[in-house]
Chain A
Amino acid sequence: MIDALVAVLVLVGSSFMCLAALGILRLPDLLTRMHATTKAATLGVSLIMLGVCLHFAVEAVVARGLAIILFIMMTAPVAAHVIGRAGYFVGTRLWSGTVRDELKPHYDPLNHHLLSGLEEDDGRPDTAASGTRATDDLPGHDAPDPDADRQKG
């Protein structure tokens, strides 16, 4: 009974990872490829590790198996986010079937400010002072008005 469950878990897990590999080959652009690799691979690894936990059923192995699942779940989305974000802002072309892009109009490639589109609500101009982004602004480039920057550049 346990053996059958373990076999199912490992089989389903490895077929998800196979699908992830197939996805990298088949999908048309970088962002959709990131979808396939991170999620399917995460689920695949999790299922295989669950199978391992069930098969050995020893405390030390179960603890390590669950820790592996936890760390994969913590790191995989961060990696996907970083690669996807870098790819997007470097200017990778999106697939021709992409139906909309709400980010593009809010991003200023000259000073790397990303607006939220909600600034008008509270009447406060966005000065991007939160400091989350490693900007490579020139001294005169932190003006909130994107057009001013474009004229300078």
Chain B
Amino acid sequence: MIGAAWHLLLGIAWVVLTGDFSGGNLVAGLVFSYLVLALIQPQVPALAGYAQRLPRLVRFVGFFAKELVMANFKVSYDIVTPPWYMKPGVIAMPLKARTEFEIAFVANLISLTPGTLSLDVSDDRRVLYIHAMFLDDEAALRDNLAELERRALALFR
């Protein structure tokens, strides 16, 4: 969080100092401040690991977009063809996410990937109940969900 705040502050400082208030210039400022933060990161403990998050974020967005499109095609195929290939069911998924924000983020991501819909979190927040549309390969589905959670949590930790 501190890293993000510094990033934004440096980017705005760039915009103010150059005097060019356009979106493109703000993007340029953010790129330069990212480089600066990556350079001074070894000296500042509060920034530790901040620069590594951007490539992780890019990879995560790519991974998520791929999942979104692939699974959407799967659901669409089942909708347009007359017989039902789906095997819906509710499964319990143990959560590694702990804080409220992490749980909300992971649950929303799971809801966004087609084929899975987060139903509820248990009262002690250790298990997320998920309605899944394709349970024919449950082990693969669980692996997929765990992978999604691991990658999502890597963005914040």
Q: Is B31 an interface residue (CB 8 A)?
A: no
Q: A81-B118, A100-B135 are in contact. Are A22 and B80 (CB under 8 A)?
A: yes
- Are A31 and B122 closer than 8 Å at their CB atoms? no
A99 to B134, CA, bound (A): 10
- Are B75 and A35 closer than 8 Å at their CB atoms? yes
Number of interface residues of A (CB under 8 A): 55
Taking the closest CB of chain B, its distance from the CB of A87, in whole angstroms, is 10
Report B-chain residues with C-beta under 8 Å of the C-beta of A101. Answer: 89-90
A-B pair count, CB < 8 Å, reads 151
Number of interface residues of B (CB under 8 A): 43
A133 to B123, CA, bound (A): 8
- Are B79 and A130 closer than 8 Å at their CB atoms? no
- Residues of A in contact with B (beta carbons under 8 Å apart): 16, 19, 22-23, 26-29, 31-32, 34-36, 38-40, 42-43, 59, 63, 73-74, 76-78, 80-81, 84-85, 88-89, 94-95, 97-104, 106, 113-119, 126, 128-130, 132-133
- Residues of B in contact with A (beta carbons under 8 Å apart): 22-24, 68-69, 71-72, 75-76, 79-80, 84, 86-92, 94, 107-109, 111-115, 117-127, 129, 131, 133, 135
